[in-house]
Amino acid sequence: MGEIKSKKRVYITVSLIIFLLIVGGFYFYHSISNQAFKPFNLKQSGSEQLNIKYGKSKNQALDLYTPKLQNGKKMPVIIYVHGGGWSGGTKSNVDDKPAFFVNKGYVFVSVEHRFSPHVKYQQMADDISSAVKWVYSHAADYQIDTNRINLMGHSSGGHLVMLIATNPKYLNAVGLSPSSISSVVSLEGPINLTDFLQRMGTYKKVFGNNKKVWEEASPETYAENKNLPPMLLVTRRKSSITAFMEKAKKDGNKVSYFECGSLSHSDVTNLLGSNKGSAEAKNMTMAIEKFLTKYNF
């Protein structure tokens, strides 16, 4: 009887060891395979300053997230503009992006702007330009490298960052130019407003019915301007950006794209930098990180 109990204890012990090895191996693999997406505690790894005013309106404000400062080392900055159909949204809608990019050595700035119907799209673009100017003017306070200023925006925010990066009048108005920008990432931002508004008529309430206005509001109109900053277009419809890329490249501008096959419009921003998304979401994040690294490190 004692021998049977002894064998049973050995069997249980061996089974437990095998189980622990399997579980340990699984978590080790999971940790390694998701290393690039490992979240971190922002309060331990950096700092945040919320609701900094760059203008007089309550919506002219930004949130600033910084890595732990190191002996005067200057860092690149990402200035992000949220979506919301030009009529809403909030700078706090950033999901995992601040943590992800701060962990990669970027200062991350999330910008809010005035909305339709209180202002037209031109004033929204002016707001984004003013926020860029604020970052440029306060760069020394946050160890930001003014030679590494990057723009990023989702949906309507993607449209606005592309507009000020391609039409120089907006940045010129605040004493800067598109050459002040190191790179631009558009996350599903409309590039051709004429095409977009014919498909998405609800946004005519923002841009009206005048096709000349649509053309003036379209980044594609300015694609042939020379010396534009490098651009990465994340899209679910490659056909919507093909003409822009062809025009821009013809004049020597650098444009690349990442096409999403299964991600929704909101997934494109919600899953950027997240360790919870699909393989395609993680591939998107890696493509964006690789693009930004090329022009910042």
Report the predicted TM-score, pTM, of the whole model to 2 decimal places.
Answer: 0.86
Of 234 and 36, the structure prediction assigns the larger pLDDT to 234
Predicted confidence at residue 72, as pLDDT, reads 82
Predicted confidence at residue 226, as pLDDT, reads 95
Tens of pLDDT along 145-167?
A: 999 999 999 999 999 999 999 99
Residue 190 has pLDDT above 80, yes or no: yes
Residue 8 has pLDDT above 80, yes or no: no
CA–CA distance from 215 to each of 34, 192, 202, 253, 260 (Å)?
43, 8, 17, 20, 26
Instruction: Extract the tokens encoding 164.
Output: 């000020």
- % of the chain at pLDDT higher than 90: 82
CA–CA distance from 93 to each of 36, 163, 170, 264, 278 (Å)?
22, 21, 25, 17, 20
- The single-letter code of the amino acid at 92 is S
Mean pLDDT, the chain, as a whole number? 89
Tens of pLDDT along 32-61?
A: 334 344 444 555 568 999 999 999 999 999
CA–CA distance from 63 to each of 49, 56, 79, 135, 140 (Å)?
6, 16, 10, 11, 17
Secondary structure, 3-state, 100-125: HHHHCCCEEEEECCCCCCCCCHHHHH
